[in-house]
Structure 1
Amino acid sequence: MRRIGIIGCGTAGIQLAYSLKNDFDVTVHHYEQPQDILNGRIRSTQVHFHPTLERERRFNMPAEDSAPPIRSIHFHLGQQKLFTGNLTGIAASVDQRLGFAESIHDLASQGVKFVHGRLKQEDLLELTHSYNLIIDTTGKAGPLAPFPVETGLTPYQAPQRKCIVGYFTGVQPVKPEGISITVLPGNGEMFEIPAITDSGLATILFIEAVPEGILDVFKGIKNSSEFMARMAKVIEEHFHPIFERIDMDRFALIAENAFLQTAITPVIHRPYAILGGTLILGCGDSVFLSDPITGQGCNTASYAAEQLYETLITHKESTWDEAVGIDYWNRTKHYITAVTEWTNAMTEPLPEHIAKLLMQAASDQMTADGIAAWFEDPTKAHKAFHEHSINQPFLR
């Protein structure tokens, strides 16, 4: 049986382990034990839209049934509510700490081997002697492998947003159940997401701040009390509809480590390389890193992991060489291009025809539902952004 080494156990690495374990000898290299993950800092906002949840069901991955159902996208422009668009299927946000820890235990019980330890780039060549294929799913910190940058899909050399995330109690959810998006043109966005955590239900408040703009006011904050106080002040000043739903007596982070500040520079790599005669493939944020503004990080990782699985099953009896890597990239490139170009466009001022489309959605439910569906299928969003007239066919 061919041996596959997966580096990393995030969204891509875990799905790949589930999908590949029955056909190959799979070993996962990771640097955090499950209890360390559970006790660590929050990692993401991790909305899994229904295509991702369907893939997880396909590969018999653990499901968290207590996650609040996400059925809609509520869109605000400044203080004005424009529309509520209905998703075509239920989405969910499960704290990655909970999901990753449970999956590691489950995979180990099914015979997947785990090797604990942090790998560096200089360790990769030695690792090629142990496997027929290595998959780099090292996430935002990666890649370890020498994957070349796709310059045509990588226009930025610096972060376009500063990401400020906290998991809170005391926020009355929007109705119907869903994600609330508020855009402050020129300054950033606020996302409000219902989630399940190891501590119970929480509301994720996620600010994407334009650097040096009015939302970029969390610099130097190191502890949870300062973070909570600053978040409350920003919401009161700039997001009145959310502030009106907050019970300030109950408003608090769910835990001391339930907040995060980060900034990423989006970069897309070609996801295959040969090192020491061994094929190395990349998946997830290690090679397809986009700004979080469209909520596609986990969903893109899941999509690419499925395409990688399909590629390896197709070539199960073939030589694993560069041709396999080219096939994998050809299978994913259209989708990755759509996600990347749509996401990059969302960090810029909205095109005039998109602004008109959002206004049209305020009075037309079909248009509103079509816009909500962009988050489930980014190829629809990409098509919409590259159409220069308002018409229904490109929405659905």
Structure 2
Amino acid sequence: MKTHFKTLILSLAITGFITCNANNKKPYTYLVNANETKLQPHSNKQHIKVALLLDTSNSMDGLIDQAKAQLWDIVNELSYAKCRNEKPNLKIALYEYGNDRLNGDEGYIRQVLPFSDDLDDISKELFSLTTNGGNEYCGQVIQTSLNQLNWGNNPDDLKLIFIAGNEPFTQGSINYKDAAVNANEKDVTINTIFCGNYNQGISTFWKDGAKLTNGDYMAINHNHKTVHMASPYDDKILILNQQLNKTYIGYGTRGKAKVAEQAMQDTNAITYGNANAVKRSVSKSSHFYKNASWDLVDAVENDEVVINELEEEALPNELKGKSEAEIKAYVTKKKIERENIQRQIKELNMKRTKYISENTKTKSTNSLENAMTKAIKEQAKKKKYTWD
């Protein structure tokens, strides 16, 4: 399957090569460049891995709209998860299928993004989706995601596929039952979301597609407009979000572009209203929002960059010509500012959540976000995950 090179490059953690000869170190000898990657050490930390397979045929505009509007609700809900008292990491992959603009020889399927923990990239690619066509081959897109994605072997990982669409589950040359066998072998649970009438989804085998891996079958009104409730705390959180952005120090060949992308995804979020932008701000205060591949604060904290090994070309303008001590002091200052701002956002969000809970008479349960979070929580219990 053809993969968009631009998406692939953006999803890599781009760092530089550190020399092993400590005696030959010089100030600024660490150059980050787009052709160099640093292999990350294997981690036993648990992951929630979610592959989202979205039908992007003509009738699915409402589904894509819900996905864009509810992304931060889903991320925020998952941020409260714990496994054995540890907070797991989150990786999301994105596929589109059923769009006539895609390659028919490959089943009208495209991997939009492989497993990524870069929330800005996930938002960016989600907002790039458009609908057209098409031919929806559920079995084939499931099998493609099983083949292409790195699901790993950690038994504590929660590995989930969510496939959403509205055509019969039986279409295409790959039988969904065969894909389900492979999913069981990889400890992956398939959850099906039919966009339409519940009973119609059953008669077109969407429920059976979930049952084979002990997943959940759900039906949603994909044309339902997402309503984000405002609160008295929203304006304060949005002001703090602007301050939060100023604590990021873009470095290397990607730094400047990623700072701009961060701001762009703030703008995308606000297209669904201030309250949705607030939810993105809350996501940015969580442990999921890490950007070590381009932000110097996160990179230093994760031991992915040694300051005295950075080449000056890799530094942002405000740090060029500075001594090692001055750079360290600047990074530490921004780290402290960020932690303080994130703490304030979390405190305000607790008040915001309480306000919304007390002032919401009825909550819609017939949406993509509610379907996904309900299924994730139920299936997470089997692996001893808990929620704060």
Q: What TM-score does the superposition give when structure 1 sets the normalisation length? A: 0.24
Larger Rg over CA atoms? 2
Q: What TM-score does the superposition give when structure 2 sets the normalisation length? A: 0.24
The structure with more strand, counted as a fraction of residues: 1
